[in-house]
Structure 1
């Protein structure tokens, strides 16, 4: 095969995902599973409470507000065209393929990093579930079994995995939410908690540092956009899925943070240092026997999040692979299952390799390191999408003042989130993670610059036809 042939984008005929196979429920299931709401009462709220104390509910409220502006910017583009590459395609159309490539590079770290972090979280939950019976489940075994099952499901059928994820998350939210309502039943005098509402003991420094963790609780809400080619009526279903997953998760997280502080009788220091908050919660409610059950529920929810993250990462890699932003094999699909099986395998293997490499640091640290790194990737993509939306509308002659305001607020929210991760300077090794991420992005930028120099025809083609056919771009308003 000649060099010219190797540089040519993969043709649509060789890369045909199963179109129009997903309804609204499967689409919102992808976003909700990627958010994994059960992770917040299981582990995330502890980290937030350690920094923000009684203001934990406000951290989630502010995160909801900031990301709601981001979601409105996503809707601007998702309601006009849809594609498998989501942000890679959206941002490329507004700011050009180089900017789209940067966003895609950041999202590779975001989605795979989320899969890594949540897989570590799943190991914590499984071990907590079996600990009361004296059973120690090896971390490596959890990684291998879960990683293999994720690969199998993701490479076989996106509809099955999305439905399974939605069912798991819906059941988890109902069960955990029901238990937290019992907290208010047992503490009726704290339904209106003046300690929390007046933010007693909360500092601006703590709120700023906790915002990054708050944002991480939501990341992945936009991943429904990665199913643009496989969703029925994507110009309506995907925007609805993005907005509603954001609203539902925001309301649930704010409620969880408020209720957990009530459950701990306002002792935020105890909450912030508790490695098993669900067990403490159930012990306080007089239901200690349900502890293992709840951690099994949390582990299944975490598994659904890993599955959703691999699904999103593979669709991103599929779209980028078609134009050699990554290896062209990522843009191929299985002839029978019509899934990007090479991209699924790559994302699954990368997740396992990194998690095994970090086993010596402990599963809790693996969760923290990879999740923080992933959050930076999301922040970059969310910032670029907030910039892209008003610019795209201006090019179309449709820009209104409200669109400009939404774009600016969304972008500033992400700048603030990143700033909170570097100042005040966090403890080692979290103080070096932002710079490691910057190094990763610089490497990606160099790679894109080399691509532009070596194969300028690839970028020229993207400029004129990002998805090669009308089957990939469904239309414009």
Structure 2
């Protein structure tokens, strides 16, 4: 295989009677896929606690820097998204430039990222539902996890199976509603505070760059999934234009939301970020301080809405990767089939859904907070690996076509450095047991994917005929 023409080398399955419904998603629906996968509402509801604990009153600055980092990564993703409109795109983006093994590892990594994010969100549903019912004085009515989680995932799975346009609209409406609730409550709380300026947060003397640097890793965690609209490129209208817009806009819009939400949450507490850092329900602290404790119940309800939209976006994106890799026969060819009526990868959806349910139920012996943290941490490893590889691949892809410019090289180098920094920050200092085992668990998972690749290459070499074209359908 020539290094200059190396392409992803799995042979696609035989032509099928139906393909994915091409060009059905509008620009707004494509954007909603990425935003729903980020689940912005979960950051002020729970994720900001860690950032505030490290950056203190400079939490807004940590999110600002993280936003810039994600925009750099988005620029590299968009180099590839404009040139290759593919289902399960990251698997192909990377494989066609770095070779089939790298492509398979990227796809394998991203499947874990999306499905484990769905696991974390499913687990969080129990946490937020318990808070809602407790706020209504009905804490004893919280259903057990073995009933709640399968029912939740069944609803998610049906939405993903039925119609990509329908499920994208659901994500759009639900995420829009949950963000609107958060924005309204922040506005009311800020109005009661009576000021928009907070000297504690804005004074240069109070900005601790060391804390901001330490918090950057956790701030970046809030963005994972912003790239997921690229996995639905085949189903998006004018994907070379609309997918890059969705990727870039999702990072910019949600990043702005994170910066403003973190600033006004600390403002509402008179600059005392320690209250947020020490609370497992940070928004409840904000509303209680403003004399609106009842509003916390609304926020938890909004977080549940956001969680459903996120889980649906994760299953949509993860199933497209499973579908894509099935068509290249890394998985059984059956998962590369498309439903004749609904034009969705129904078998890939089912596989992703069952895997998500199995992992979720396996984690139920842990406390919900620990299970949420474990699943989310391993998912983040999957995203970071692919973000790093995309930043490496983007300029190589452009060089091959003779379109490489200096700004592309700069964007790539900055992206690689930022992602390596984030990866290093997630590993060191070494976390306490059992969190210190999670990187090894992820490495074991990746090793399993690599071993399966080598097994297929040895036992079925005919499946590795070189190809030059996109996935069908």
Normalised TM-score (structure 2)? 0.93
Give yes or no for contact 2:185–2:295 (8 Å, CA) kept in 1: no
How many Å separate the matches in 1 of 2:390 and 2:313? 21
Moved more, 134-143 or 236-245: 134-143
CA separation of 1:96/1:23 partners in 2, compared to 1, >3 Å: closer, same or farther?
same
**Match status 1:460 vs 2:465:** yes
CA separation of 1:190/1:233 partners in 2, compared to 1, >3 Å: closer, same or farther?
closer
Q: Secondary structure at the match of 1:339?
A: coil
Q: State the 1:177 CA deviation.
A: 1.4
Q: Secondary structure at the match of 1:13?
A: coil
Q: Which residue of 2 aligns with 1:181?
A: 187
Map 1:198-277; keep pairs closer than 5 Å: 198=204, 200=206, 202=208, 204=210, 206-277=211-282
Give yes or no for contact 1:112–1:347 (8 Å, CA) kept in 2: yes
**What are the ranges of 5 or more consecutive residues in structure 1 without an aligned counterpart?**
1-6, 473-477
Task: Choose which of 78, 82, 85 in structure 1 pairs with 2:85.
Answer: 82
Give yes or no for contact 2:38–2:225 (8 Å, CA) kept in 1: yes
How many Å separate the matches in 1 of 2:261 and 2:148? 28
Superimposed CA distance per residue, residues 135-184 of structure 1 (whole angstroms, 9 cap, x where no aligned partner): 33133332122111001111111111101111111122222112212333
Q: Which residue of 2 aligns with 1:399?
A: 404
Give yes or no for contact 2:275–2:285 (8 Å, CA) kept in 1: no
Superimposed CA distance per residue, residues 369-389 of structure 1 (whole angstroms, 9 cap, x where no aligned partner): 000100000000101111111
Q: Which residue of 1 aligns with 2:125?
A: 122
How many Å separate the matches in 2 of 1:11 and 1:25? 33
Give yes or no for contact 1:54–1:199 (8 Å, CA) kept in 2: no
Q: Which residue of 2 aligns with 1:93?
A: 96
CA separation of 1:452/1:412 partners in 2, compared to 1, >3 Å: closer, same or farther?
farther
Q: Which residue of 1 aligns with 2:166?
A: 160
How many Å separate the matches in 1 of 2:429 and 2:205? 20
Map 1:60-75; keep pairs closer than 5 Å: 60-75=63-78
Compute the RMSD of aligned alpha carbons.
1.9
Q: State the 1:196 CA deviation.
A: 5.2
**What are the ranges of 5 or more consecutive residues in structure 2 without an aligned counterpart?**
1-9
**Match status 1:371 vs 2:376:** yes
Give yes or no for contact 1:184–1:191 (8 Å, CA) kept in 2: no
How many Å separate the matches in 1 of 2:146 and 2:44? 25
Q: State the 1:121 CA deviation.
A: 1.5
Give yes or no for contact 2:45–2:299 (8 Å, CA) kept in 1: no
Give yes or no for contact 2:11–2:465 (8 Å, CA) kept in 1: no
How many Å separate the matches in 2 of 1:53 and 1:421? 19
Q: State the 1:90 CA deviation.
A: 1.3
Superimposed CA distance per residue, residues 191-232 of structure 1 (whole angstroms, 9 cap, x where no aligned partner): 23334553748462x444433321221111110011111111
Task: Choose which of 136, 142, 150 in structure 1 pairs with 2:148.
Answer: 142
How many Å separate the matches in 2 of 1:433 and 1:49? 24
Task: Choose which of 347, 366, 370 in structure 1 pairs with 2:352.
Answer: 347
Give yes or no for contact 1:208–1:420 (8 Å, CA) kept in 2: no
**Match status 1:429 vs 2:440:** no
Give yes or no for contact 2:315–2:353 (8 Å, CA) kept in 1: yes
Q: Secondary structure at the match of 2:365?
A: helix
List structure 1 runs of 4+ shifted beyond 6 angstroms.
none
Give yes or no for contact 2:116–2:378 (8 Å, CA) kept in 1: yes
Q: Secondary structure at the match of 1:229?
A: helix
Q: Which residue of 2 aligns with 1:4?
A: none
Moved more, 254-263 or 110-119: 254-263
Q: Secondary structure at the match of 1:184?
A: helix
Q: State the 1:334 CA deviation.
A: 1.4
Q: State the 1:437 CA deviation.
A: 1.3
Q: Secondary structure at the match of 2:235?
A: coil
**Match status 1:322 vs 2:327:** yes
How many Å separate the matches in 1 of 2:117 and 2:125? 12
Q: State the 1:8 CA deviation.
A: 6.0
